[in-house]
Amino acid sequence: MAIREKYKKSTVEMRTLILDTYDNNGDCKAISTVSRINHRTARDWI
């Protein structure tokens, strides 16, 4: 849960992390980032 601990400050930060991960890499790496978080928590952040 390192990602959760680092980005639990705000929903906007988590959304930005996911979008930046996708845009910067040009692939679906963001999906793997979300998959490391349980679905309920990820849904709350996004």
Q: Is the pLDDT of residue 19 over 50?
A: yes
The mean pLDDT value for 2-24 works out to: 57
The mean pLDDT value for 13-19 works out to: 59
pTM beyond 0.75, yes or no: no
Residue 30 one-letter amino acid: A
The mean pLDDT value for 36-42 works out to: 52
Residue 1, pLDDT score:
46
Q: How many CA atoms lie within 13 A of 21 on its CB side?
A: 14
